[in-house]
């Protein structure tokens, strides 16, 4: 009877083996499909983070642009209400506007209209005689409402230039409080369109600037203005916007091009505008799709291989001797692979001595494998990295983990040291199944480590000057702000702008301009004397100096050293009177973080001080505390 049972078990064994192989293949397919789905979700989440970062940055850019327009409007409203609209006053205003050199990339023009809509003054070179804007929506709204705030209007075509513009306007009054007219600044839609073109968000990606009520103000790639002014208020986003947070991820099918899109929207906290950064979902998943095809092809091939192996096992299960022979042959093959493998394969005993080392040890470590047998496996490890490796091996020997992977430095016979990545796995006795050692597979990671270090340096430094870049500056500002707030210490900041740098470039060429910026960068580096100080290129010809634990007097001292060092350098600049040398304007600010909401307030204060320094004649240093009654001052 027992004999019959054993025979029955043998006859059923192939069936059980076939069932196990089928289950294993199905499990591999299911797990691989789940892994690819998880990878797809990770790619989508990464794309969401990228869109969120882009939307946050572009919202800040839009806020800065409208804040510049708002600052100009406040100053001009004060000038009009104080000077009035008499012919003499208007002539002075016109002269003032024509003498100003605004950044036409951001603020296209400034316009002043009286209570009838007639043009009084403008920065544009047009005949004002027959021009009247009383039919414009913004004019009628200011005339009907006593609200003194800034109104961001719908896009219109400029009567002076014919291009699409976004208007920002304010009402000004007669002394008795009645409506006297409108001051307006215009921003070219093309400015935003060209700025958004700098960002690569895929072939079908798009960035849109919309008003809070759903009017399209600007869209990347829309050079012809086909989408400008389009009403998007009926789209699902704006229909549900009042139920949503100020910022968030948004998936939708675009009504403009019909593509399924992944996006992130960001409402401005300062102005009634919204940034929508989107990319086509197919573009976000393109890399994943290619990898998924490769992975699933490999998995399918592996599954087929397992199935074939299972079929082979079922067919030859009864031939134990041939199976044993095949296993011996496979063991020889595996040993051959270990001998010929470019990675170093080592067998390490429980006493942490080397029992076996593959021939590639000579190429990777420069040591003859035969001479390493019996030596301590951790002998050449860098002392700083050795505790981590010892901890990993101890955990493996105690059975707390089956495998581990670690990167560390070790001594090379002919070099000082190299970076090595080692995969560790425990081995067990075939008799007792107890841990009897560790197998280590190592490869040289020195080149990859060097590349990682270089990439990390490039990610935080400016390519031209070698200073910290804007991104690194923003991160350090947030860190130092939090530290100063925690410790109750002052934090100072300089914004530094090269005077008439565009003229310098035009006169001497861009190579000379680059050399000028590098020279100024060297001066700033020389003034960064403490480990916590930071010199950064803020953008273009503008630099920043972050000075933690520095009060206003110390800030001024550093700024004057910068100006003195630049003056001693004596770089010629014929178009920068009166010195005819390269000079800089410096705006400084010192703040106690416990008295403000965020680090941006320090940047804003320094920026206002820089603006005041440039308006006061350049080649000077102005601290934020020296700006009187900002922004209603004469030069606002």
Give the per-residue SS3 of 160-198: CCCCEEEEEEEEEECCCCCEEEEEEEEEEHHHHHHHHCC
- Note the pLDDT of residue 379: 76
Question: pLDDT at residue 453 above 50?
Answer: yes
For residues 443 and 557, membership in a common domain is answered with no
Selection from 38, 50, 40 nearest residue 263 by Cα: 50
For residues 446 and 572, membership in a common domain is answered with no
Q: Give the CATH number for residue 499.
A: 3.30.70.270
For residues 477 and 439, membership in a common domain is answered with no
For residues 447 and 578, membership in a common domain is answered with no
pTM exceeds 0.75, yes or no: no
- pLDDT tens digit string along 522-567? 999 888 778 889 999 988 889 999 999 999 998 999 999 999 988 8
Do the domain assignments include residue 411? yes
**Which of residues 455, 488, 514 is at a domain's end?**
455
Mean pLDDT of 349-362: 80
Q: What is the percentage of the chain residues whose pLDDT exceeds 90?
A: 21
**Which of residues 455, 488, 504 is at a domain's end?**
455
pLDDT band at 327 (very low <50, low <70, confident <90, very high): low
The whole-angstrom separation of Cα 369 and Cα 375 is: 11
pLDDT band at 636 (very low <50, low <70, confident <90, very high): very low
The whole-angstrom separation of Cα 200 and Cα 197 is: 7
For residues 224 and 244, membership in a common domain is answered with yes
For residues 353 and 374, membership in a common domain is answered with yes
The whole-angstrom separation of Cα 625 and Cα 489 is: 18
The whole-angstrom separation of Cα 504 and Cα 464 is: 17
For residues 345 and 259, membership in a common domain is answered with no
- Note the pLDDT of residue 346: 80
Do the domain assignments include residue 165? yes
Selection from 243, 238, 268 nearest residue 255 by Cα: 238
Question: pLDDT at residue 635 above 50?
Answer: no
Do the domain assignments include residue 323? no
Do the domain assignments include residue 317? no
pLDDT band at 5 (very low <50, low <70, confident <90, very high): low
Summary mean pLDDT of the chain = 83
The whole-angstrom separation of Cα 382 and Cα 384 is: 5
The whole-angstrom separation of Cα 526 and Cα 561 is: 10
Q: Give the CATH number for residue 393.
A: 3.30.450.20
Helix and strand numbers, DSSP H then E, in the chain = 17, 21
For residues 393 and 500, membership in a common domain is answered with no
DSSP string, 442-503: EEE-HHHHHHHHHHHHHHHB-TTT-SB-HHHHHHHHHHHHHHHHHHT--EEEEEEEETTHHH
**Which of residues 405, 436, 455 is at a domain's end?**
455
For residues 435 and 492, membership in a common domain is answered with no
For residues 260 and 239, membership in a common domain is answered with yes
H helix or E strand, kind and range, residue 623 = strand 621-623
The torsion region of residue 51 among left (phi > 0), alpha (psi -120 to 50) and beta comes to alpha
What is the number of structural domains in the chain? Answer: 3
Do the domain assignments include residue 4? no
The whole-angstrom separation of Cα 59 and Cα 51 is: 12
What torsion do the CA atoms of 564, 587, 74, 216 make, to the nearest 10 degrees?
120
Do the domain assignments include residue 532? yes
Tokens read off for 177: 């409080």
- pLDDT tens digit string along 165-204? 899 999 999 999 899 999 999 888 888 888 888 888 888 8
For residues 342 and 376, membership in a common domain is answered with yes
pLDDT band at 586 (very low <50, low <70, confident <90, very high): very high
For residues 607 and 589, membership in a common domain is answered with yes
Domain extent at residue 405: 334-455
Residues contacting residue 264 through CB under 8 Å, at least 6 positions apart: 48, 51, 52, 54, 55, 247, 248, 249, 250, 276, 277, 278
Do the domain assignments include residue 501? yes
The DSSP output letter for 80 is H
Do the domain assignments include residue 11? no
């Amino acid at each position: 009877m027992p004999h019959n049972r054993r025979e029955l078990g043998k006859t059923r064994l192939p069936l059980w083996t076939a069932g196990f192989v089928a289950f294993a293949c199905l499990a591999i397919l299911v797990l691989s499909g789940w892994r690819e789905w998880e990878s797809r979700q990770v790619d989508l989440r990464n794309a969401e983070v990228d869109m969120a970062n882009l939307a946050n940055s572009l919202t800040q850019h839009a806020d800065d642009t409208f804040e510049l327009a708002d600052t100009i409007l406040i100053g001009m409203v004060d000038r009009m209400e104080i000077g009035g609209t008499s012919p003499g006053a208007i002539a002075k205003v016109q002269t003032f506007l024509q003498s100003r050199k605004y950044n036409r990339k951001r603020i296209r023009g400034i316009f002043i209209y009286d209570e009838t809509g007639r043009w009084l003054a403008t920065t544009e070179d047009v005949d004002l005689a027959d021009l009247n804007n009383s039919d414009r929506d913004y004019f009628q709204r200011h005339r009907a409402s006593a609200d003194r705030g800034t109104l961001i209007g719908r896009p219109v075509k400029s009567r002076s230039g014919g291009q699409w513009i976004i208007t920002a306007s304010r009402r000004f009054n007669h002394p008795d409080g009645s409506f006297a007219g409108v001051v307006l600044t215009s921003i070219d839609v093309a400015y935003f369109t060209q700025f958004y073109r700098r960002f690569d968000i895929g072939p079908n990606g798009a960035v849109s600037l919309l008003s809070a009520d759903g009017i399209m103000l600007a869209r990347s790639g829309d050079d012809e203005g086909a989408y400008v002014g389009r009403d998007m208020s009926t789209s699902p986003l704006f229909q549900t916007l009042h139920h949503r947070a100020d910022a968030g991820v948004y998936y939708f099918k675009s009504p403009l091009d019909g593509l399924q899109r992944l996006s992130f929207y960001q409402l401005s906290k300062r102005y009634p505008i919204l940034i929508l950064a989107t990319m086509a979902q197919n573009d976000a998943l393109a890399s994943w799709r290619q990898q998924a095809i490769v992975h699933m092809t490999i998995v399918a091939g592996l599954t087929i291989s397992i199935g074939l192996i299972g079929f082979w096992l079922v067919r030859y299960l009864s031939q134990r001797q041939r199976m044993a022979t095949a296993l011996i042959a496979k063991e020889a093959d595996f040993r051959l692979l270990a001998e010929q493998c470019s990675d170093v394969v080592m067998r390490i005993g429980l006493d942490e001595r080397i029992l076996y080392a593959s021939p590639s040890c000579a190429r990777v470590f420069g040591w003859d494998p035969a001479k390493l047998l019996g030596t301590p496996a951790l002998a050449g490890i860098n002392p700083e990295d050795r505790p981590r490796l010892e901890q990993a091996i101890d955990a493996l020997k105690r059975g707390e983990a089956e495998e581990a992977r670690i990167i560390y430095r070790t001594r090379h016979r002919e070099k000082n040291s190299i970076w090595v990545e080692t995969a560790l796995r425990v081995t067990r006795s075939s008799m007792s199944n107890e841990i009897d050692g560790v197998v280590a597979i190592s490869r040289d990671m020195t080149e990859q480590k060097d590349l990682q270090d270089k990439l990390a340096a490039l990610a935080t430094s400016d390519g031209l000057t070698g200073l910290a870049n804007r991104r690194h500056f923003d991160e350090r500002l947030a860190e130092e702000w939090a530290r100063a707030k925690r410790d109750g210490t002052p934090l100072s900041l300089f914004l530094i702008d090269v005077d008439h740098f565009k003229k310098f470039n035009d006169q001497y060429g861009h190579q000379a301009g680059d050399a000028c910026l590098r020279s100024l960068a060297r001066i700033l580096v020389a003034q960064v004397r403490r480990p916590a100080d930071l010199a950064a290129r803020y953008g273009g010809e503008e630099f920043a100096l972050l000075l933690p634990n520095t009060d206003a007097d110390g800030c001024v001292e550093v700024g004057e050293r910068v100006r003195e060092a630049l003056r001693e350098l004596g770089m010629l600049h014929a178009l920068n009177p009166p010195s005819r040398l390269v000079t800089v304007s410096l705006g400084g600010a010192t703040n106690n973080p416990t008295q403000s909401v965020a680090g941006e307030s320090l940047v804003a204060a320094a920026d206002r001080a820089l603006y005041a320094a440039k308006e006061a004649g350049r080649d000077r240093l102005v601290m934020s505390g020296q700006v009187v009654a900002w922004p209603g001052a004469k030069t606002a």
